[in-house]
Chains A and B, each alone.
Chain A
Amino acid sequence: MRELTVKDAINEGLRQCMEADPNVVLFGEDIAGGQGRDDHPGAMDAWGGPFGVTQGLCTQFGRERVRDTTIAEAGFFGAAVGAAMVGMRPVCELMYADFAGVCFDQMMNQAAKMRYMFGGKQRVPMVMRTVVGAGFRAAAEHSQTLYSLFAHIPGLKVVAPYSAADAKALIIAAIQDDDPVVFLEHKRLYMEKEPVDEAMTPLPLGQGVVRREGKDITIVAVQRMNLFALQAAEALAQDGIDAEIIDPRTYSPLDEDLILGSVAKTGRLVVVDESYPRCSLAADIAALAAERAFGSLKAPVARVTAPHTPVPFSPPMEDYFIPSAERIARRVRETVSF
């Protein structure tokens, strides 16, 4: 099987969905680029978004379906909600998740609530793609993950893929889903490669995956943290600690059974989340284990997260901010030796 990067896997998923359904329409800022300069060679698809994820789609599908918008996130997110209610399947790109503040009303109060508030008769089948993650020296307003901000809201589904194959299968599932889905892409994973199925096959939302089987401790790793958890597990194996790594992949809904089953087996849990610690996915998953797996726990649930600070700019500080394989390994050793 050919290998694709996460970026190209998402692009292929979008392309296949657009080929299959003319109602799939993309909205975003410079998701093509060059709007207004189409007579200039190369202007169309000059960008494909800031990370090139949608590159080539405008050339194939035209500007009616790959719609470069003005820098008006609330406007086009709101328009996407209205369009979704009457038959479109819009895919909106929010350039960075950090910008959610300027269109959060459309996400939280419109997309998420239309179905419930209006008595269950309406559907808002839209996807809100956005980019998360530290490690780009992009400072406090272009680096957050904010997973729990979205997962907190009833009515939204939240997907955060780690691998290229998952990214493709999950973007397809998100577009085909009849609920509004927040699809979070980690900017430091875009260039990670692996074999990706050429077929257009969705992965059902709410299914986690065991990335490494083990018997001594469960590590639940959120998105990019799988990379470091896998590195930590290799180091821990040399000390005779056999870690199981679970990637939930979607966070609303959450594959609770997979997590609880693993904790029941290992009796120990470390949750690794790049987000801030308070009211985070790490806190949520730790609470899940405390409530529903208490009897099998041999040690307190531990969390490895960023500190409760904005994301710093300068490399030494940013590297300190992001959970590392070393920190994960240390917390695992502490938990195992409790």
Chain B
Amino acid sequence: MLDDAPVEWMYRTLFRIRFFEDRVQELARTNAVPGYLHTYLGSEAIAVGVMAALRQDDWITSTYRSHGHAIAKNVSLYSIAAEIHGRTTGTCQGRGGSMHISDFDKGMLGALGIVAAGPPLALGAALQERRSGSDRIAASFFGDGAPHNGVFHEAAGLAKQWEAPVLLVCENNGYAEATATDWHLNTDTVADMMSAYAIPAETVDGMDMFTVYAAAKPAVNRMRAGGGPELIEFLSYRFSGQYEGDNQAYQPPEEIAEAKKRDPVLLARERAAQMGLNAEALAKIEAEVHQEVDDAFAAAEKDPWPEPEDALKDVYVDYPEGQIRYA
């Protein structure tokens, strides 16, 4: 199953996410960017492995923890950095920010700030693609908190009835905000919940990107060949807090240390030689990605702020200007 894995792209993308998020954390600590920031540290392998199994033109929905998904969807680091900085050159021209990175041209329907908002949107996109005769599928990324929300269950029920090609990707990172997953789940796993919908579901290690890929690829293939919805729950760990600035007082330090023994970046480096990348090649990729991240943020920081009145744009496709401006 790994024979067709885009190995170099996967390593490059994994490092892009890690180095990018490291930079975001630094910026957060010095208050150098406005707004809420939720980093993807610890779950990088999930975005990389799933996106490696998807095509560029497949749709995804993301959450407020959106940087990793956007990067793995090949959205440019620079335009994500610019959006986080609130600049006109950002993916959303500064109107979305870190929580709402979106790039339609890259198949990223959007990143949503409401827990469990994504699955029905991905379902709708999947339905429309199938009914129009396309083989594009949709994947929805969400955390382990979302399966408590009614909207998740409505989407799951409809997805099965419609046999829509939507891949439900649960990133079980150990915490729903500040609540531990082993406490909040009534079942052992999120996958266990899906039998109520007759949706095939499995729970898989989410720390090793090749394991993620090996789980996602057959599911994607089945959907592309006409299959219905499936759920994969990937087990990872949230190295960062719920948001940058979170005191993480609820996360035992020894638990974090234990999880970091299986840091996705560590595991990937360990497997590099086996996957055909020697130390030199790996070092070269890492150095290039460091430079890419530096360049992206350096450029984004110099970009112009929006004009205040840019706030009035794009509320509608068509609407009387005076009733937007109002006063």
Binds A, one of B153-161, B181-189, B269-277, B295-303: B153-161
Known: A82-B120, A110-B112, A115-B317. A120 touches B125 (CB 8 A): no
| B121 CB contact (under 8 Å) in A87, A110, A119, A253 | A110
The residue on A at minimum CB distance from B113 is A109
Interface 1/0s, chain A 108-139, versus B by CB < 8 A? 01100011111111110000000000000000
Categorize the interface residue count of chain A.
35 or more
Contact A116 B127 (CB under 8 A): no
Which residue, B90, B112, B324, has most C-beta atoms of chain A within 10 A? B112
Give chain A interface residues in 74-107, CB to chain B under 8 Å: 74-88, 90, 105-106
Categorize the interface residue count of chain B.
35 or more
The residue on B at minimum CB distance from A156 is B316
Measured in the bound complex, the distance between the Cα atoms of B96 and A183 in whole Å is 28
| B124 CB contact (under 8 Å) in A83, A177, A254, A256 | A83
Known: A117-B92, A119-B90. A78 touches B123 (CB 8 A): yes
Enumerate chain B residues within 8 angstroms of A117, measured Cβ to Cβ: 92, 95-96, 100, 102, 110
The residue on A at minimum CB distance from B124 is A82
A206 within 8 A of B: yes
Contact A178 B317 (CB under 8 A): yes
Report the minimum CB–CB distance from A158 to chain B (whole Å). 12
Contact B158 A72 (CB under 8 A): yes
Known: A116-B95, A118-B102, A120-B93. A78 touches B315 (CB 8 A): no
The residue on B at minimum CB distance from A120 is B314
Contact B114 A78 (CB under 8 A): no
Measured in the bound complex, the distance between the Cα atoms of B91 and A105 in whole Å is 24
Contact B124 A119 (CB under 8 A): no
B284 within 8 A of A: no
Give chain A interface residues in 9-60, CB to chain B under 8 Å: 23, 25
Which residue, A110, A118, A154, A179, has most C-beta atoms of chain B within 10 A? A118
Contact B117 A80 (CB under 8 A): no
A70 within 8 A of B: yes
Interface 1/0s, chain B 287-327, versus A by CB < 8 A? 00000000000000000000000000111111110111000
30 CB-based A-B contacts, threshold 8 Å: A64-B131, A75-B158, A76-B120, A78-B123, A79-B121, A79-B155, A81-B120, A82-B126, A82-B128, A83-B127, A85-B110, A85-B121, A86-B128, A105-B114, A109-B112, A109-B114, A110-B117, A115-B317, A117-B92, A117-B95, A118-B104, A119-B90, A119-B96, A120-B93, A122-B104, A177-B318, A178-B317, A178-B318, A253-B319, A256-B322
5 other contacts beyond A79-B120, A82-B121, A82-B125, with CB at 8 A cut-off? A23-B132, A117-B92, A119-B90, A119-B94, A122-B110
Interface pairs A-B: 4 shortest CB-CB: A78-B120, A75-B154, A82-B124, A120-B314
